[in-house]
Amino acid sequence: MTVGRTHAVALLGLQGAIVEIEADYSSQLPKFVIIGLPDAALGEARDRVLAAAANSGCELPSRRLTVNLSPAALPKQGSGFDLGIALATLAAAGIVQPESIDRVVHLGELGLDGRLRPITGILPAVSAAASAGFATVMVPTGNAEEAALVPGIRVMPVASLRDAAIWHGAEFDPIPVDPIMLPEGGAAEDDRLDLADIIGNEDAIEAMVVAAAGGHHAFLLGPPGSGKTMLAARLPGLLPDLDPATALEVSSIRSLSGLAVGRSLVVRPPFEAPHHTATAAALIGGGSKQIRPGAAARASGGVLFLDEAPEFNSSVLDALRQPLESGVISIHRANAIAHYPGRFQLILAANPCPCGQYGARDSECTCPPSARRRYLGRLSGPLLDRIDIQLRVQRITSAQLKLGNETPRTTTARSRERVVAARAVAAERLSATPWRLNSQVPGSWLRGPQARLSAVVTASIDRALERGGITMRGYDRVLRLAWTLSDLDCADSDAADSGAAPPPTADHIGRALYLRKAISS
C-alpha cells in the first residue's frame, strides 16, 4: 500500500488555505487516527468515512489508518474535509488512482449512506483553490451551481462517494442515487420599496440620496412614526449594482454564513437590520470554535441599519468604530485572526427620548431632561463623530399628507439615476487615486492643494472648528459631504456631460455642515 495524498481547503474568515491530506496504512491493530489540529466535527470524520465507504461498496482494510492534515499547525474546522479524507484512504488502499486525486481539491461532507451533503463556504473555498493554481475541484452536487460561479476552474459535481471513486479510476459499477440539494432560494431583491411611498420629509429623502451618492453614514433622530425605518429600508434601492469583485465578496460571505447564493452572484447591495438585543459576536462576528461573520460583515457592500440604536448595548455599538474607519473587521482569537470586509453604510435611527415624544409637534414629552440625556448618551461621542449625516426627522401633518397625495413624488428609480451619475462624476475626478467614493477619501487629500478649496469657501467650517463645534474628524467629513453635494449638482446639470467636476462652493460647505449638525442645531 502507498500513501494516499489529496487536497482540501481550510477557511479562516474569507481567506482559504490549501490543506494537504495524507493517508497511510500500517500493520498494527485496527484504528483510525486523524492528526493535524482537527476540531470535534472534523475528528468525527473517521466514523462518517468508515460508514460511507462500507455502504458505498468501498470496504477499507482492517488495519491502522493514519490521516495527516498538513500544515499541522493550522487549525481546521468543519466536515468539509470528509470527501478528501475518504479518497485519500481509498488511494492508500489501492482502490483509486493516487495520481488522480493528487491533482484535485475535494470538498464535501459525507452521509453515512455514502451520499455527499452540501457544505457552507463553498464559494470562498473554491476561490482559494483557484488562486492556489488548481485546475479541478470536486464538490457535492448540491454545491455545483455555487462553485461554478468562480471563473477559471473546472468543477466536478458528484452525488456520492462511489461516484467520486469511479471518477478517480475505481472499478465499480455506478449506482444512481438521489443527490442531496440545498433549499431553493437566493438573495431576494425587494423592488417593492420605493421612495415614492414616503410623503413629506423632503430633506430626509435628499439626505438619503446624498448618503447613497457618497457612501456616507447617517443618523436619523425623530419621534415614532416619523418615517426613519422607511427611509433606511429604501437606501439599498438607491445604490447601484455591485461591481464584480464586490459581488463575489458579498456572495462569499453569504455562502460562509450558510445563506443560499443561487445560480448567479449577488449583484444588489445587502441590507442587514439586527435586533437591538444582538451581542457583539452577532453584530461583528466571532465564535468560540469556528469564527463566523456577523451582521456587519454580511452588510458589507450594502447597508447596516440599527433601529432603536440607544437600546443596543454601548459596548456593542462601540465595536463598530474600528470597521467604520478601516473598512475591515478583524476578529482575534488565541490561535487565529479572521478578517472580513466591513465596507458598509451604517444607518442609525433613534427616538429623541425614552417616551419618544420630545420635540414632536403634536405630543408632549414626559421624560425629565436627565432621562433624555442618559438615553441619547448611550450613543458615544466617538461613534457619532464617525457619522457623516446627522438629521432630525419630524412627523408629517395632515396638511402635508394631503399636499403629498396631490403632488408627484420622487421615485427610487429616478433617485438611483442621480446617484449613479454623481458616483460617475466622483470616479472620474478620483481616477488617478485609489478611491472611488467621497467617503473613502482621506482628510489629507481633502485639505490639500489638489482639492482647490480656498479659505473663503471653508470659512464656515473653519469657524466651527475654532469654536469646538466640530472635531478634526468632523471637519474632514463635512468636506466629504460637500464634495458629494457638488457631484450631485454637477450630475444634475449640463456639466456632467462635459465631465467637469468643479470643487465645492461655500454653499455646498454650508449645506454639508447643516447635514452634519442638524440634530444639535
On whether both 103 and 201 belong to a single domain, the answer is no
* pLDDT of the residue at 190: 54
On whether both 221 and 364 belong to a single domain, the answer is yes
Residue 499 in this model has a pLDDT that exceeds 60: no
* pLDDT of the residue at 322: 92
Residue with more model confidence, 412 or 500? 412
* pLDDT of the residue at 494: 57
* pLDDT of the residue at 258: 87
Which three cell numbers mark 438? 467621497
User: Phi and psi for 258 in degrees, rounded to 5?
Assistant: 85, 15
* pLDDT of the residue at 408: 77
On whether both 432 and 288 belong to a single domain, the answer is no
Condensed to tens digits (0 to 9), the pLDDT of residues 126-150 reads 999 999 999 999 999 999 999 999 9
> Could you tell me which residues are beta bridge partners of residue 391?
220
pLDDT tier for residue 218 given thresholds of 50, 70 and 90: very high
Residue 410 in this model has a pLDDT that exceeds 60: yes
Mean pLDDT, residues 364-373: 91
Number of H helices, E strands in the chain: 23, 18
Residue 375 in this model has a pLDDT that exceeds 80: yes
Domain stops at, among 132, 167, 202 = 167
* pLDDT of the residue at 183: 78
Q: Could you give the C-alpha distances from 297 to 263, 319, 322, in angstroms and in order? A: 22, 13, 13
Alpha carbon distance 183, 142 (integer Å):
9
- Would you say residue 176 lies in a domain? no
- Would you say residue 324 lies in a domain? yes
pLDDT tier for residue 185 given thresholds of 50, 70 and 90: low
92-106, 279-293, 345-359, 463-477, range with the lowest pLDDT: 279-293
- Would you say residue 227 lies in a domain? yes
On whether both 388 and 422 belong to a single domain, the answer is no
Residue 189 in this model has a pLDDT that exceeds 70: no
- Would you say residue 174 lies in a domain? no
Which three cell numbers mark 284? 461583528
Identify the burial level of 31 via C-beta atoms within 10 angstroms of its C-beta, where 0-12 means exposed, 13-18 middle and 19 or more buried.
exposed
* pLDDT of the residue at 361: 77
Q: Which residue shows C-alpha cell 493517508?
A: 23
Residue 21 in this model has a pLDDT that exceeds 80: yes
Q: Which amino acid is at 428?
A: E
Residues 6+ apart with CB under 8 A from 74: 10, 17, 19, 36, 37
* pLDDT of the residue at 59: 86
Tell me the CATH number at 137: 3.30.230.10
On whether both 144 and 251 belong to a single domain, the answer is no
Please tell me the total count of domains within the chain: 3
Q: Report which of 49, 70, 68 is spatially closest to residue 60, judged by C-alpha positions.
A: 49
Exposure letters 212-241 (e unless 16+ CB within 10 A, then b): bbbbbbbbbbbbeebbbbbbbbbbbbbbbe
Which three cell numbers mark 95? 482502490
- Would you say residue 330 lies in a domain? yes
On whether both 107 and 227 belong to a single domain, the answer is no
* pLDDT of the residue at 186: 47
* pLDDT of the residue at 187: 45
On whether both 216 and 259 belong to a single domain, the answer is yes
Domain stops at, among 384, 410, 436 = 410
On whether both 224 and 345 belong to a single domain, the answer is yes
Q: Which residue shows C-alpha cell 474628524?
A: 473
- Would you say residue 29 lies in a domain? yes
On whether both 338 and 423 belong to a single domain, the answer is no
On whether both 122 and 207 belong to a single domain, the answer is no
Alpha carbon distance 344, 323 (integer Å):
9
On whether both 241 and 390 belong to a single domain, the answer is yes
**Beta strand residue intervals within 195-256, DSSP E:** 218-221
Mean pLDDT, residues 157-186: 90
Alpha carbon distance 16, 440 (integer Å):
27
DSSP sequence for 396-440:
PPHHHHHHHHHS----HHHHHHHHHHHHHHHHHHTTTSS--SGGG
* pLDDT of the residue at 262: 80
- Would you say residue 172 lies in a domain? no
Domain stops at, among 167, 193, 209 = 167
* pLDDT of the residue at 519: 77
Which three cell numbers mark 267? 449583484
Condensed to tens digits (0 to 9), the pLDDT of residues 68-127 reads 999 998 989 889 999 999 999 999 999 999 999 999 999 999 999 999 999 999 999 999
Condensed to tens digits (0 to 9), the pLDDT of residues 413-453 reads 999 999 999 999 999 999 989 999 999 999 899 888 888 88
Mean pLDDT of the chain: 91
* pLDDT of the residue at 191: 60
Tell me the CATH number at 371: 3.40.50.300
- Would you say residue 179 lies in a domain? no
pLDDT tier for residue 247 given thresholds of 50, 70 and 90: very high
> Could you tell me which residues are beta bridge partners of residue 105?
7, 137
Q: What is the domain extent for residue 254?
A: 185-410
Enter the pTM of the model: 0.90
123-127, 368-372, 498-502, range with the lowest pLDDT: 498-502
Q: Report which of 180, 175, 150 is spatially closest to residue 83, judged by C-alpha positions.
A: 180
For residues 511 and 485, is the Cβ–Cβ distance under 8 A? yes
On whether both 260 and 400 belong to a single domain, the answer is yes
Which three cell numbers mark 42? 472534523
159-163, 360-364, 423-427, range with the lowest pLDDT: 360-364
Q: Report which of 11, 471, 436 is spatially closest to residue 215, judged by C-alpha positions.
A: 436
Q: Which amino acid is at 235?
A: L
